[in-house]
Amino acid sequence: MVGKSIPRVDAYEKVTGRAKFTDDLILNRALVAKVLHSTIGNGIVTSIDTSEAEALPGVVKVVTFKDVPDHCYPTPGHPWSVEPAHQDIADRNILTGRIRYYGDDIAAVVAEDEVTASRALKLIKVEYEEYPVEIHPRKSMYGSNPPIHFDKKDNVLARSNFFIGNVDEGLEQSDTVVKRSYKTSIVQHCHIENPISFAYMEKGRIVVVTSTQIPHIVRRVIGQALGIPWGRVRVIKPYIGGGFGNKQDVLYEPLNAFLTTQVGGRPVKLEVSREETFCNTRTRHSIEYDLTAGVDKEGHLLAKDMKAYSSQGAYASHGHAIAANGLTAWRLQYACPNTRGEAYTIYTNTPTAGAMRAYGIPQAAFAIECLMDDVAAEIHTDPLEFRRKNLIQGYYEDAYLKPIAANTNGIFQCLEKGAEYIHWDEKRKEYADQTGSVRRGIGMSLFSYKTGVWPISLEIAGARLSMNQDGSVQLQIGATEIGQGADTVFSQMAAETLHMDVENVHIVTVQDTDVTPFDTGAYASRQSFVTGTAVKQCAEQLLQKILDYAKTLLPEQETRELSLDHGWIYAGEEQVLSLEALAQEAYYSLSNSSVLTAEVSTQVKKNTIATGCCFAEVEVDMKLGTIQILNIINVHDSGKLLNPQLAQMQVHGGMSMGMGYGLSEQLVLDEKTGRPLNGNLLDYKLMTALDTPDIKADFVELDDPMGPYGNKALGEPPAIPGAPAIRNAVLHATGVAFNEIPLAPQRLIEGFKKAGLI
Amino acid sequence: MVGKSIPRVDAYEKVTGRAKFTDDLILNRALVAKVLHSTIGNGIVTSIDTSEAEALPGVVKVVTFKDVPDHCYPTPGHPWSVEPAHQDIADRNILTGRIRYYGDDIAAVVAEDEVTASRALKLIKVEYEEYPVEIHPRKSMYGSNPPIHFDKKDNVLARSNFFIGNVDEGLEQSDTVVKRSYKTSIVQHCHIENPISFAYMEKGRIVVVTSTQIPHIVRRVIGQALGIPWGRVRVIKPYIGGGFGNKQDVLYEPLNAFLTTQVGGRPVKLEVSREETFCNTRTRHSIEYDLTAGVDKEGHLLAKDMKAYSSQGAYASHGHAIAANGLTAWRLQYACPNTRGEAYTIYTNTPTAGAMRAYGIPQAAFAIECLMDDVAAEIHTDPLEFRRKNLIQGYYEDAYLKPIAANTNGIFQCLEKGAEYIHWDEKRKEYADQTGSVRRGIGMSLFSYKTGVWPISLEIAGARLSMNQDGSVQLQIGATEIGQGADTVFSQMAAETLHMDVENVHIVTVQDTDVTPFDTGAYASRQSFVTGTAVKQCAEQLLQKILDYAKTLLPEQETRELSLDHGWIYAGEEQVLSLEALAQEAYYSLSNSSVLTAEVSTQVKKNTIATGCCFAEVEVDMKLGTIQILNIINVHDSGKLLNPQLAQMQVHGGMSMGMGYGLSEQLVLDEKTGRPLNGNLLDYKLMTALDTPDIKADFVELDDPMGPYGNKALGEPPAIPGAPAIRNAVLHATGVAFNEIPLAPQRLIEGFKKAGLI
């Protein structure tokens, strides 16, 4: 069953519109909540007057920052830690009077309907004392008065560094040293379904139904935010319309939970608009890099150095974990005796940055892979050849975090497939000496990506199976289907280990913290690896129970080994009992009934590295400032594919995101206020179907020994290599090295003008 | 925690209207289904024309008996059996063209709204061929042409008998022999919430949300009715507004499930009206008894003989189990060397009889306890004295089904309490010689009642516990809260065994066959006994896991015995670790995390007998034909009370039902057609608050060794002894022995006239 391209188990529900999302589940007569956002980017609220809003008919309740519980809480979707030093930074309250970015949450209105709630917002009168706004991390790190948070006078949320060998000596010994700066922009996830939740109370507890990737973590954070025992919170996660990491953060659920307590437990709906999603949820961190690399005469890397400045925005959220992830990647994959890294994560008066698909690696890989091409150009070497020379073959492990290791390493095979598809050797030559304003080029980039978060953080997953009377099974997991196909591959896994058809595995789609096994949720490409391990263990446990029970039903003299295969118990080669008959006995036997179930809660202390690359062929119209992608391919080394067709679709989606990252997407902020200037789907240039060329996905399937079914990370990686590959193709086409994305027309034209090409 | 009168865990939800019942959960845009019922009582449909109905705008689908799957299925809420001989009788189809009672289900309409569905019903044209209608079992058992079902020419669904000793010899040896016939009427459950369900499809499976006592059984029966694997059915049971056994039958859920498959899986709501509830769901069996008893000179029973004729109505439903239960009761409690019983269950052209609170025993106890008074009167003995002389003291067991035993027997203590409350000795004398048309009397009756269904049928229950991060626990069970307080006592049980406050036990109220442990459901007063055993085992298992895990967190040299008490782990007498800290480690330890959970699926092979009695004082106005109850008490021997206040409320409710059974309730059928003449709450005389006197409940608490917490049956028994106690009080007051209930004015006046008293 594993390895087959079966249709998604939720395909029919989703294409027929029958799948129930959060909004579909809201019962009539739910109240509607809306949030009042600040209209300054830094400062304090000096006065707030809600009396007119409260007087509006249909308004049920108005709360301000003065009314909320005084419990700072952390929001990132990380497993909690019992050690305070490893706990996430708690720097946010449900509402605030200390404004840290344009749009900060000051107050909320609960009304009988949406129109009334919107009108009431406008009736709230707020006065501010304003402070200067700082949106650039490299300036913010020199401090502000007052600091953005706590007593952090330098606004530096965190700094970390590492060194291997002696970088300074290595650079001295180098034949060629290349120094460059790179910068990535703020982008937003743009999942189809905006964040939405509704909350109500039952039996003295708070229930929140929400579009989240991490229901069990949302439960915990609501408990922390409200200062109530976590067991008094119940979180339900229906089908969700994408998340891409934005919903790996706890967003407005604590406010929603608080609001229902303020209206006697009545149901309250809190739907975040698209504009709020851009400004008031999370973004991908903009990170600025200063990179240096030294190579010897043969083109071998002798030393490399990274300095990263990550703009956190107004609140900690996932914080330094993003930039730190890039530091880790800087240590991996390329052989280099002397490597150093240093990263800063810095508060700024901008929308809060959080998790987004591939968690800091699209930024780091953009910088690293641009640098590799820039070094290759400097020493007049083919950039693919240069990489092949410097990449580690076979097994390697991280120097600092040893479980992070390439237990299989298919990067060379990936490069081969990619180069062949794009006709690397021919076209590098063909496009060498172009003239005119329209030119073509090919470029590539590669990456490595760890699969789970161990040993940086905890990995734990739960699974439960119980056998129905017809021999089919119910599979229940705490991990979440967020559009990536998790439910499908978990069903395949259970079917594989139980040797049954996947139609006989009924997976429970909704996660409900009251009844769902504990799992930290969908992030880090962890689920098929970590939860997959739990599913496999659980299925093995159930299989053993089935065979043990079969023994009690067979004659005592039966000594042949028992096995299960597609609905039949075999003794040796002989069919001796149908699984359905066995199940019926388990349910209904007068002598020996006991329904067969299995449950595991599995800590997974392993990790493994996936790799891959992108090859792109572009045509650049320098006068128009446009890039047309003629051909593009991602080749992934993600271990054994659980479902090749789903894998293809994952890669397609990630490539689209990578192309948008490289070509057009950027949340533009006003310099003076930090206000998003294009926080809507009209002005924010997301890739559409019409913008997207034919895209090609290919794979190198090595059987990874760490993965429960030979699999490793695939969910996030496809989004990584597109942007640097396109940038490198533009470099090939035009000779101009753009060091900042997106490669939008204005930037291109400026660059080509500067280079004297137009 | 067990034994305390804590408030119901659902009290706040229910009194504030916040608890969600089936109708509250129906999403907008559900289609509405209505059923077309026959307007004859016996016959066949010769033609049916749905064309006009189908043409009505808003009608989505019309189905008739010709369209439904050809799978006969059984409906009673019994656990299934893998042995065909023990399986329930499958004599019903989803719709039928062979009409067996007035109101039989011929066709169904699915429309966009209720009004359209109702209008469409009227547009369906049906023609019948009619057969004579037989509503009396003692006539029907001589057969009809055609038979009501199968080739059962005598219409006898089943017959069973037993004998102990030699009854004929015993009667011959008796000094006095009394022969009487008794009859009980058809009554209906009259739960507050009518049966209601809605069904839809998801992922190729059918989901039915329904107001039922037995979700797991509904799942199975839908599978049988539609001929699909049972795993493809999901049944969800929200809060329900009473059931009393009517919802221990599978009612319209198979039709509802079928209808959604006919409209592409769209949600279809099927709400049963009150009038349909009376006619088309289930009733309590009317049973006719011929009883004989012989006593010696000292008033000891020497022999007793029962013949019972139970009117099944049109379909088998719970069938002969009801009459057979009365046969079992006939063997118990009274010492008698020669006892014989024979029972017939006979199809008639009447509404189908099924399970109702106390399952055949209110009927049998009415007959038996009337007989006891009639024998006592015949031999001029005080009826209480007569019973005391003939009741078994202490332990006894059923001769045929040995696990059914009085492991504790508090009947003598019950009688003492009852007699004292009603001032038995004084008032028997005081009311001895009355004249005039208004007279007073006191009467009593008693009963025995088994707690579960073992060994007649399977007893199996499941429970699951998992510990939250704050040390509280989630308790999930397949047993159902149907208003009786099950959720509250299960929470108390878990708290008791886990030594924690009940507020830290969060019970999951909704049963969902996809995720809920398997349990056969709410019936037979089984849950606190059978499911209680599972809850106790599950809690013991979790407790052991908690203590085992605590060991891993404590110093190795800690050798004192560990225990858990109210949130703390103790080593010996010393508090060494809070449960919350332990729970957090279990969730988040980097070295050793594994969420602590426990699950059991427990077959319970034990049973135990509860007893009790009722004493009533009445004033009879013979001219008006009215009975006023002046005082009434039930005294119950139900083992240790789990929650005394809930126990009181159970008894109050049961006594109300018993009084209605004795005084006013009866579903009257038209002799010619079998049509109910008073199937609505206006004409069917249910006890109202104004009709109900002050009622008193008392208990004898013996610690039963079979009950998980010393408890035994309490849910159903309170409904048993009221009717015969009132009848016997009337006998005391007036000397007139009424042998048929209800004692409604017409019957009373006729009786008193016949006796020459008015």
A10/B231 Cβ within 8 A = no
Mutate to test the interface with B, among A510, A515, A599, A600 (most CBs of B within 10 A): A515
* pLDDT tens for each residue of B204-260: 999 999 999 999 999 999 999 999 999 999 999 999 999 999 999 999 999 999 999
> Residue A232 has what pLDDT?
98
- Give the one of A201, A476, A588 whose C-beta lies nearest to B79's C-beta: A588
pLDDT at B445 over 90: yes
A223 and B CB contact within 8 Å: yes
| Of A230, A265, A468, Cβ closest to residue B468 | A230
Contact state of B468 with A80 under an 8 Å Cβ cutoff: no
Nearest CA in chain A to B14: A203
In a domain, A164, yes or no: no
Q: Which two tokens stand for residue A113?
A: 């309907």
Please give the backbone phi and psi of residue B369, each rounded to the nearest 5 degrees, phi first: -75, -25
Here the CATH number for the domain that contains residue A542 is 3.30.365.10
Together in a domain, A437 and A464:
no
Domain holding A46, by residue range, is: 11-131+195-272
pLDDT at B733 over 80: yes
A324-351 burial, b at 16+ Cβ within 10 Å, e below that, comes to bbbbbbbbbbbebbbbbbbbbbbbbbbb
The domain boundary residue, chosen from B272, B289, B319: B272
Mean pLDDT calculated for residue range B460-472: 98
Residue A4, chain B, CB below 8 Å: the answer is: no
Q: pLDDT at position A27, please? A: 81
Contact of B460 with chain A, judged by CB distance below 8 Å, is answered with yes
First to last CA, chain B: 57
Contact A515 B204 (CB under 8 A): no
B15 at the A interface (CB within 8 A)? no
Cβ-nearest to B597 among A469, A470, A599: A599
Q: Is A504 an 8 Å CB contact of chain B?
A: yes
Q: What are the phi and psi torsion angles at B329 (to 5°)?
A: -60, -35
Per-residue confidence band for A28, with pLDDT thresholds at 50, 70 and 90? confident
Q: What is the mean pLDDT of residues B294-309?
A: 98
Candidates B375, B187, B416, B225; CA nearest to B291 is B375
CB contact under 8 A, A468 and B231: yes
Rounded mean pLDDT of A672-692? 95
Q: DSSP string covering B201-230, please?
A: EETTEEEEEE--S-HHHHHHHHHHHHTS-G
> Which of A665, A662, A658, A669 has its CA nearest to residue A681?
A665
Same domain (yes/no): B54, B88? yes
Residues B104 and B223 in one domain: yes
Do both B667 and B736 map to the same domain?
A: yes
What phi, psi does B488 have (nearest 5°)?
-70, -50
| Nearest CB to B13; choose among A24, A202, A476 | A202
Residue B496 identity: E
Q: Do B231 and A12 touch (CB under 8 A)?
A: no
Contacts of B203 in chain A (CB under 8 A): 9-10, 12-13, 506, 509
Q: Write down which residue in B603, B633, B659 finishes a domain.
A: B603
Q: Is A17 on the interface with B (CB under 8 A)?
A: no
> Do residues B496 and B513 share a domain?
yes
**Residue range A39-96, pLDDT digits in tens:** 999 999 999 999 999 999 999 999 999 999 999 999 999 999 999 999 999 999 999 9
Choosing among B504, B587, B597, which should be mutated to test the A contact, i.e. which has the most A CBs within 10 A? B587
DSSP state for residue B406 in the 8-state scheme: E
- Joined together, the tokens standing for residue B474 give 């989630």
For residue range B356-365, list pLDDT tens digits in order. 999 999 999 9
Residues of A with Cβ-Cβ distance to B578 under 8 angstroms: none
Give the residue on B whose Cα is nearest the Cα of A24.
B27
Instruction: Please give the mean pLDDT across all residues of chain A.
Output: 97
Structure tokens at A147: 């600091």
Domain tally, chain B: 3
Confidence band for B27, pLDDT divided at 50, 70 and 90: confident
Residues A700 and A620 both lie in one domain: yes
The structure's pTM equals 0.97
Q: Are B461 and B529 in contact (CB under 8 A)?
A: no
Percent of chain A with pLDDT over 70: 100
Task: Give residue-wise pLDDT tens across range A524-544.
Answer: 999 999 999 999 999 999 999
3-state secondary structure A110-160: EECCHHHHHHHHHHCEEEEEECCCCCCHHHHCCCCCCCCCCCCCCCEEEEE
In this complex, is the C-beta atom of B27 within 8 Å of any C-beta atom belonging to chain A?
yes
Q: What is the pLDDT of residue B28?
A: 74
Give the count of Cβ contacts less than 8 A between chain A and B. Answer: 167
Among A residues 593-652, those touching chain B with beta carbons less than 8 Å apart? 593-597, 599, 601-603
The C-alpha atoms of residue B358 and residue B407 are separated, in whole angstroms, by 20
Which of A347, A349, A298, A294 has the alpha carbon at shortest distance from A323?
A: A347
Given A547, A580, A603, which residue is the final one in a domain?
A603
Q: Does B432 touch chain A (CB under 8 A)?
A: no
Within 8 A of A25 by CB-CB distance, chain B residues are 27
Q: What local confidence, expressed as pLDDT, does residue B33 receive?
A: 98
Residues A433 and A464 both lie in one domain: no
* Residue B234 shares a structural domain with residue B87: yes
Does the beta carbon of A458 lie under 8 angstroms from any beta carbon of chain B?
yes
Q: Is residue A262 part of a domain?
A: yes
List all residues of chain B from 242 to 271 with a beta carbon under 8 Å from chain A: 265
| CA gap A355, A247 in Å, rounded | 8
Q: Which of B205, B469, B585 sits opposite A230 (nearest CB)?
A: B469
In a domain, A174, yes or no: no
CA distance A431 to A75: 49
B519 in the same domain as B450: no
CA A674 to chain centre: 25
Tell me if the bond preceding B146 is cis, omega within 30° of 0: yes
Segment 153-172 of chain B within 8 Å of chain A by CB:
none
Q: At what angle do helices A722-734 and A361-378 cross, to 10 degrees?
A: 30
B453 interface with A at CB cutoff 8 Å: no
Residue B336 lies in a domain: no
Q: How confident is the model at residue B29 (pLDDT cuts 50, 70, 90)?
A: confident
Write down the mean pLDDT value for chain B.
97
Domain match, B585 and B690 both? no
Could you tell me if A585 and A672 lie in one domain?
A: no
Q: Does B87 touch chain A (CB under 8 A)?
A: no
Alpha-carbon distance of A320 to A335, in angstroms, equals 26
**Omega cis (within 30) before A676:** no
The verdict on residue B710 lying in a domain is yes
The residues that bridge with A230 in the sheet, in sequence order, are none
Mean pLDDT of A263-270: 97
Crossing angle of the two packed helices A644-663 and A722-734, in degrees rounded to 10: 50
In chain A, residues with a C-beta closer than 8 Å to the C-beta of B204 are: 12
Using one digit for the tens of pLDDT, what is the confidence trace for B549-558?
A: 999 999 999 9
- Chain B residues touching A455 at Cβ < 8 A: 590
Residue A190 placed within a domain: no
Distance, in Å, from the CA atom of A468 to the CA atom of A465, rounded to the nearest integer, reads 10
Q: Residue B16: inside a domain, yes or no?
A: yes
CB contact under 8 A, A595 and B460: yes
Flag whether residue A470 sits within 8 Å of chain B, measured between CB atoms.
yes
- Chain B residue numbers touching A601 (CB-CB < 8 A): 593-597
Q: How many residues are there in chain B?
A: 758
**Interface check B220 vs A, CB under 8 A:** yes
Q: How much is the average pLDDT of B118-139?
A: 98
Q: State whether A458 and B12 contact (CB < 8 Å).
A: no
CATH number at residue A63: 3.90.1170.50
Amino acid occupying residue A222: I
The predicted-structure confidence for A110-166, as pLDDT tens digits, reads as follows 999 999 999 999 999 999 999 999 999 999 999 999 999 988 999 999 999 999 999
A-interface mutation test, from B469, B505, B546, B600, most A Cβ less than 10 A away: B469
Which residue in the set A24, A584, A601 is minimally distant from B595, CB to CB?
A601
Structural domain contains residue B282: no
Residues B251 and B391 in one domain: no
Q: Which A residues 107-136 touch B at CB under 8 Å? A: none
Specify the DSSP class assigned to residue A546.
Answer: H
pLDDT at B542: 98
Q: Which chain B residues in 518-547 lie under 8 Å from chain A, judged by CB atoms?
A: 518
Kindly give the interhelix angle for B361-378 and B320-331, rounded to the nearest 10 degrees: 40
- pLDDT value at position A151? 87
Considering CB atoms only, which of B24, B470, B594 is closest to A230? B470
Compare all CA atoms of chain A with the CA of B458 and give the residue at the minimum distance.
Answer: A590
